[in-house]
Amino acid sequence: MRRVLLALTISLAFAQPALAKERKTKPKPKPAAVVDQTAAAANAASAAALRYLDVIARLDDAPGGPQLNAVIVTNPQAPQEAARLASTGRLKGRTVLVKDNVETREWPTTAGSLALKDNMTGRDAPLVARIRADGGVVLGKTNLSEWANIRSNASSSGWSGVGGQTRNPHAIDRNPCGSSSGSGAAIAAGMAWAAVGTETDGSITCPASANGIVGFKPTVGLVSRTYVVPISHSQDTAGPMATSVADAALLLGAMAGSDPADKATAEADKYRTDFTAGLALSSLKGVRIGVLQKQSGRHPGVNRVFDRALSDLTAAGAVLVPIAYDMPPELGRDEGVVLYFELREDLNAYLTALPGNPPVRSLADVIRFNKDHANEELRWFGQETFIKADQPVDRATYEKARANSLRLAGPAGIDKLLADNKVVALIAPTEGPAWPIDLVTGDHFISVGAGTLAAVAGYPHLTVPMGDVEGLPVGLSFIGGKWTDKLVLELGAAYERARTVTLRAPGLKRWGE
């Protein structure tokens, strides 16, 4: 596991004002109680950061430990930074791990690929800059499914050439799901207060569900994508991953906002708010919620847990409306056309604009790099998705596919289901339980959930833990209309309070031990 230590150089300049001016401007001393409170906050924030670094050292890399491979680089100055920021902004020195396809100024941004192992841009993605400005401490960067799991359909989620295979802390021989696998595993294992993940379709919600934490994919355009290694400008977004809805909402408030370089965020400032406001008082009483029955799948364990969640929602006063909905097959077909087209266009633009002299400037370069480094990059699975994406579809076909997939997922999908059934949100299980890690034959998903609807439409999707199947967590999805992010978070927080199941702590052992 790679570790890069952040070296900080701090230079201080002192100026001696004139005595008369000093007498006029010298601040009054703070009351002792205020000083004590400030010092206590600084000490607490510093101690928390130190504790998280210790957890990473013990659980991520140490011989004899579970070796989760969730974190690829840490910031040893985090305790000092946390102390300094303990009274700053809304985050007040809290520690945040960042998925390694999001640029941070201290370290390379690799997307898990050896082709970008030295991609030191020296800049923060705007969402990271916002976190820092709001009092957040970047504790390190997390492993991920290489290239955000778009390289191959036969991949093992959580594997990258840079970081190796991430393990699920609830069962270390089980998959953490992708592509924000490191972020999900790290938060479940107690390695930071919260983490940043990214999603194109399922890459926040699936690892959150599989690792037993909260994950929120916001409306596309609420959070900037600038300096985030892209797949699709139509569907990509970053989002928070945390142990509670309130913490996810707090981090979202720091991340969100308009960015002139990302036109999708033009309305973000209009919808940016204190997403934590009212969460503690949100109620399910009388709230109509649509239950996507066919999207619960056929796994008996998942259905038992889902039934318990439905009972909890009903007991809390929610009015559950059963909905029989069939996902149109052309939705997935046209989403694929869009992702292939935009992957080539968007990744080429990102790589071409990188500072420095990276070995890859295009998707074609990445394909060649992987062939030249096949022992390291292609041992476990190939790059057939990359190869297909590099054979461009004509723009007219792409635009037709995008228009149709967006219509099916949005106006004819989520919007119609909400309106026809007079409900404010849709629910279903997020994903099935984690499958055994299988580098030889790849992932083994089961057919559960409706995340593709929210992903293609660009609408908010929250997953909240609702229990486990034989010790393997599963989440409950809340999906809402465009820009209803705060409402979706309120529903999730109300469900958290109504939930009667006891959530299991990660065992940090193999399943069944």
On whether the CB atoms of residues 52 and 192 are closer than 8 A, the answer is yes
AA identity, residue 1 = M
Whether 99 is catalytic is yes
Whether 117 is catalytic is no
Whether 400 is catalytic is no
How does strand 237-242 pair with strand 194-199?
antiparallel
HSE of 404 in the Cβ direction (CA atoms, 13 Å)? 17
Bridge partner residues of 320 (DSSP)? 289
- Burial status of residue 26 (CB atoms within 10 A of its CB: 0-12, 13-18, 19 or more): exposed
Return phi, psi of residue 112, to 5°: 80, -5
Nearest to 355 by CA among 6, 100, 106, 122: 122
Q: Is 297 left (phi over 0), alpha (psi -120 to 50) or beta?
A: left
Nearest to 478 by CA among 299, 310, 327: 310
Give the active site residue among 203, 224, 232, 234.
203
> What would the two tokens of residue 81 be?
């930074």
Residue 403: Cβ within 10 Å count: 12
Give the residue carrying structure tokens 């958290």. Answer: 496
What is d(CA 415, CA 78) in angstroms, rounded to the nearest whole number? Answer: 44
Residue 401 CA from chain centroid, whole number? 27
What is d(CA 161, CA 175) in angstroms, rounded to the nearest whole number? Answer: 17
Beta strands in 38-181 (DSSP E): 71-74, 95-99, 137-142, 159-160, 164-165
Give the residue carrying structure tokens 């690799």. Answer: 110
DSSP 8-class letter at 228:
B
How does strand 288-292 pair with strand 319-323?
parallel
Q: How long is the chain?
A: 513
Give the active site residue among 92, 99, 141, 217.
99
Give the active site residue among 46, 156, 160, 179.
179
Nearest to 143 by CA among 194, 186, 189, 89: 186
What is d(CA 393, CA 389) in angstroms, rounded to the nearest whole number? Answer: 8
Catalytic residues: 99, 179, 203
